[in-house]
Structure 1
Amino acid sequence: MKTISYYYIFAILLILNSCSGTEEQEESTEATEEISVDNEIKSNPLKNVYWGDTHNHTGNSFDVYLFGTPNSTPETAYRFAKGEEVESPTTGRPMKLTEPLDFLVIADHAELLGAIPLMYENTPGISDSKSGQAFLKIAPDKTDEKGLQKIYDILNFAAFDQPNEANLGSKDLINDLGGENRKEAWARYVETAEAHNDPGTFTTLIGWEWSSNNSGANLHRVVFMPQGKDVADQFLPYSALSSDNPEDLWTWLEETSSRTGAEFVAIPHNPNISLGLMFPETRLNGEPIDREYAESRMKWERNVEITQIKGDSETHPALSPNDEFADFETYDFALTPDGTRSKPTEADYVRSGLKRGLELEQKLGINPYKIGLIGSSDSHTGMSSIEETNFAGKGQHDATPSKRPHPTGIGSSKGWDMGAAGWVAAWAESNTRQSIVDAFQRKEVYATTGPRITLRFFGGFDFSNDDLGNNMVETGYDKGVPMGGDLNQNGEKAPTFMISAIKDPNAANLDRIQVVKGWLEADGSTNEKVYCPFRRS
């Protein structure tokens, strides 16, 4: 049986025009929503597109707080995502999204979760600990931005057990600010997420970020689940202070899922600054990728964050020299304090990672990099604000144009090095926790760099031009599979694809659709080609 998988054939939409235009747009061909009695959730068996951000940080993340944004809270983040006007935690000015989001994951760092705000609340066990006392001596006032930045620098050294003026090590951080001391912050966050979850209207997904910086390599994962408080109360988020190896994270996810019933989704982000470790051929212990590794990774990590504030991870000119758009939002500032710059390798970018997965599948019988693509913000302000005309910056250090020529505190980057980030779109039956997570699990999701482009992508073996009518979506599901699915067939019949792309009415026109195909040659090498089935004349 021949298997053709969409993970190797993915659509990239490029918006190149500078104005919106006024031409009529194609009407969506979604099925009519099924509406039951009052108070029941609307459901569409042919699915609606829901827009969200799975990677938002608030002051519960130590870096957000220490970068001078102590008033960034989950409450404000949810209200902003729901379309309310709020006061920006970075500028103090009112801000409001052009259109509200449908779902949000506040993914604060599991490491020292909520420790810094609790420290300034004089919380017993934190404020009076060795680490707490040392930090309060350096910055007794939470408005002391220079003092807060100094604490951040010490944390970076202490986490790697490097010499620092506070004489702290990783064990001190775990004992004083991590571990069980995170219970209060986690409980507060879960309560806030529950309060703002409104099934059918706005979905809050409980999650966090596991922030592995293995020798400066960004191996971070955002983790979330469809379950609520009853399950979240049974564990504390797994932290990279416990282990910076993704395989240990997967082991924890397996054990915790079996114990609590949590259905975890883990999403790697920023492959572009992983220093060659995100799509590797060998494990961190130096051994080759094997079948067990591939199975574990594909169970928990079915998608990857392809674009966010710290640049685009789709491809790089050095890896795709024949693609004229390969240099979009390149970013190479590794997460090291010494100014290390990342050199692009095939293990750092999604397009080459997809092709490497084909090579490994031939050897192992299973592909560890068969992934869907999502975008999100990685905002460190609590504001999921990525519109060019309504941008909150990565954090306090680049919140306004006047600050952007200066260092951000993230590697050696400056504010102007940041992009405006992206969104994730999920095709789901309803705007509910389970339905949204199910979309991620089957990889019926996609990324944009901001514009809310409505994209449908179906593959099959029996599509014809007659299928491109009002019943295209229903036909796509009946005769083929949507984005994220596998095509299986006997014989050598070539697949065909149906693609529908509708512009964001608030953004620029669509200039073209590109389809990038990656494949395995007979000799085991890989190749790629960019097709352009549509281009505005």
Structure 2
Amino acid sequence: MRIVSFVLFSALLVDGCAEAPPPATPPRAPRPREACAESVPTKVPLYGDLHVHTAFSFDARSYDTVVTPADAYRFARGEATLLPPLDAAGKGTREARIDRPLDFVAVTDHGEFLGEMYHCMTPSSPKYDTFTCQTYREEVGQGASTFAVRLSQPNPTRVAELCGEGKDCEAAAKERWQAMQDAAEAAYDRSAACSFTTFVGYEYTNTFGISNLHRNVIFANDVVPELPVTYFEAPTPLDLWEQLRDGCKGAENGCDVLVLPHNSNLSNGRLFDPTYPGGATIEEEAARASLRAEMEPVAEIFQHKGSSECRNGFLDVEADVDPLCEFEELRPPEDLQCGDKPGSGGMRLWGCTHRHDFLRYVLKTGLLEAERLGTNPFRFGLIGSTDTHNGTPGNTSSVGFPGHVGLVDDTPDKRLGAGTETHDGVINNPGGLAAVWAEENTREAIFAAIRRRETFATSGPRIPIRFFGGFGYDAGLCGRPERLEEAYAAGVPMGGALGASSGSEPTFFVQASADPGTASWPGRPLERLQIIKGYVREGKVYEKVYDVAGTPAAEPAVDTSTCAVLAQGADELCVVWADPDFDPKERAFYYARAVEVPSCRYSTYECNGLDPAAAPPACADPSVPKTVQHRAWSSPIWYGP
């Protein structure tokens, strides 16, 4: 969700006080389930979406999205859904369907304003005809901005006309929160087939300074708090972590939870600011850093609003140019750089760009913090997702993309346009996927995989990527049928850590396969495997990008007039690689990147289907890329001396 203007930001009137945190759920055990008929010790890739909005979100409903959480889960399993514009009966008029069902999903509607939205969209509510609700319903999108501006305040307040001192919205919010739980429970396959997993979750929507500090909160099972802990109760991320730790993890009632930060590319450096408010000593700072690492084991590197991996040209980053960083970036290269201090306004692409807007440099800062504090607050794995506001999880196909934001991008002109006050147009994309390596498709197995960071992200395709590190892998590992058993036995998988070396350099086993696609739409071959290394040397952090398998595609790689792929590639790439620049005294991380051959960007497919005489300006704009190289990112492996 983006914020419209500093005028609204400055004009907001304070009309209430922050509420106390909600009480914990009474003790009870999670519901039982059947054992899976099949469990794979070496793990299988599972693909999902952990960032999904429906009509329960204050912004999505303002864009005329009427898809419910239950509808979103049905869509993820392969059923069609109807998107805006709405007909006279209030039903969608555009059909959307995913190309392949997902394995797991969490609907993460905004925890903020659940009660307010119930009042404004439920005619039987005594608050339905209030001025606030009438205004919210009048103009598409404007209601979202009016509510969202409150979330940019340091001490946010509720709408007094709807909530009084807060209690008038509490019962309504509980009704919506229960409906979110019921939808997740109804869709979860508890049978031995283990075909589909859901998680109860929500989004924490801290937009302080019009910068993105948002997090998705995912619960391990059906034991959850009575209400979400939102920005109103937890005005800082530290408050969120502490309240979830104490009210859920510490409640001894079966509740467990993880927090997933996202869209650092819109945060002006605030989402991963390496400071520790209230920490007066190194020990206190280290305790806060440890809490962060415990609560936030993974971060979202790619979604509808772009890539948060890396960016060339930072004056305060020691690195060679990485051409593959120029992938689905939202902000132009000439943007003002923040330097050391975070900025503001990033939700609307205002203000400065900070190196901590990109996860590669946050991971590097984590190495420095580990040296200083003895603990790394930024030891996170990687996932992708969509951030759909249409209730269409995993709808990432570049062909026939229907948009993710209701009436904001329901037509080609809007999707290929300059955007609106709250969302951008052609610079957005269909989004990515969250993926895990898990023994089986259950809440327990997937949640455990996320906690141990055995996760990977994709920019939309289903590219399974394996990444292991150790000190004894040999060059013949790729060719052996028992390679996975050996890889687990002799090293650590992605998300793990290697201890001190006895003198030999670490070796890494990396393997990726091309997305097979579908019968009607085959996938693209792989071009290259790369390993990205970040390391500390004499108090400074550096990085290197190594091509370890495959070769860059020859030009021309794509016929953009027809979108025919001309480049040759591989169905599978596998290699055992040893770091040629290893120094056992230097703290480091490594992650793998599997890159497809170039293919048409979604906007090129869209433009090719339009009458050139009536096509939007973006179709002829040289600044809009014609092609993309889709990819998968593994979670890192860390080395510590």
Residue 368 of structure 1 aligns to a residue in which SS?
coil
2:40 and 2:439 in contact (8 A); partners too:
yes
CA distance in 1, matches of 2:108, 2:350: 26
1:316 partner amino acid: R
Correspondence 1:524 to 2:521: no
2:301 partner amino acid: I
2:458 partner amino acid: T
1:374 and 1:425 in contact (8 A); partners too:
yes
Give the C-alpha shift of residue 391 in structure 1.
2.0
For 2:321, the equivalent position in structure 1 comes to: 322
2:120 and 2:134 in contact (8 A); partners too:
no
CA distance in 2, matches of 1:337, 1:439: 31
Bigger shift: 271-280 or 189-198?
271-280
User: Which consecutive unaligned segments of at least 5 residues does structure 2 have?
Assistant: 1-33, 86-91, 333-342, 518-522, 553-641
1:531 partner amino acid: Y
Give the C-alpha shift of residue 179 in structure 1.
3.8
Correspondence 1:135 to 2:128: no
1:361 and 1:367 in contact (8 A); partners too:
yes
1:310 partner amino acid: K
- Change in CA separation of 1:335 and 1:135 when aligned onto 2, cut-off 3 Å: farther
CA distance in 1, matches of 2:41, 2:532: 29
Correspondence 1:205 to 2:189: no
1:457 and 1:482 in contact (8 A); partners too:
yes
For 2:530, the equivalent position in structure 1 comes to: 514
CA distance in 2, matches of 1:178, 1:409: 30
TM-score by length of 2: 0.70
Identity rate, percent: 32
Q: Choose which of 375, 380, 396 in structure 1 pairs with 2:384.
A: 375
Report matched runs for 1:82-161 at 5 Å: 82-89=77-84, 92-113=93-114, 115-124=116-125, 126-127=127-128, 133-138=130-135, 142=137, 144=138, 146=139, 148-159=140-151
2:429 partner amino acid: G
CA distance in 2, matches of 1:287, 1:345: 26
Correspondence 1:63 to 2:59: yes
2:419 and 2:426 in contact (8 A); partners too:
no
1:450 partner amino acid: G
Correspondence 1:53 to 2:49: yes
TM-score by length of 1: 0.83
Residue 328 of structure 2 aligns to a residue in which SS?
coil
- Change in CA separation of 1:445 and 1:168 when aligned onto 2, cut-off 3 Å: closer
1:174 and 1:241 in contact (8 A); partners too:
no
Give the C-alpha shift of residue 435 in structure 1.
0.5
Q: What per-residue deviation string (whole Å, max 9, x for no partner) do you get for residues 211-247 of structure 1?
A: 100111101110112211xx13x42111112233100
Give the C-alpha shift of residue 123 in structure 1.
4.6
User: Which consecutive unaligned segments of at least 5 residues does structure 1 have?
Assistant: 1-37
1:191 partner amino acid: D
1:188 partner amino acid: A
1:383 and 1:392 in contact (8 A); partners too:
no
CA distance in 2, matches of 1:407, 1:178: 36
Provide the alpha-carbon RMSD of the alignment: 2.7
Report matched runs for 1:29-428 at 5 Å: 40-69=36-65, 71-89=66-84, 92-113=93-114, 115-124=116-125, 126-127=127-128, 133-138=130-135, 142=137, 144=138, 146=139, 148-159=140-151, 175=166, 178-199=169-190, 200-228=194-222, 231-232=223-224, 234-256=225-247, 257-259=249-251, 260-283=253-276, 290-319=285-314, 321-332=320-331, 339-384=348-393, 385-396=395-406, 397-406=408-417, 408-409=419-420, 411=422, 413-428=423-438
CA distance in 2, matches of 1:394, 1:422: 12
Correspondence 1:429 to 2:461: no
For 2:576, the equivalent position in structure 1 comes to: none
Residue 430 of structure 2 aligns to a residue in which SS?
coil
Give the C-alpha shift of residue 446 in structure 1.
0.4
Residue 141 of structure 2 aligns to a residue in which SS?
helix
Q: What per-residue deviation string (whole Å, max 9, x for no partner) do you get for residues 14-52 of structure 1?
A: xxxxxxxxxxxxxxxxxxxxxxxx974321111111000
Give the C-alpha shift of residue 178 in structure 1.
4.5
CA distance in 2, matches of 1:383, 1:296: 33
Correspondence 1:494 to 2:527: no
Give the C-alpha shift of residue 161 in structure 1.
6.7
2:237 partner amino acid: P
CA distance in 2, matches of 1:288, 1:67: 47
Structure with the larger RCO, 1 or 2 (CA within 8 Å, 6+ apart): 1
Bigger shift: 92-101 or 60-69?
92-101
- Change in CA separation of 1:157 and 1:267 when aligned onto 2, cut-off 3 Å: closer
Residue 94 of structure 1 aligns to a residue in which SS?
strand
Residue 416 of structure 1 aligns to a residue in which SS?
coil
1:72 and 1:89 in contact (8 A); partners too:
no
For 1:481, the equivalent position in structure 2 comes to: 492
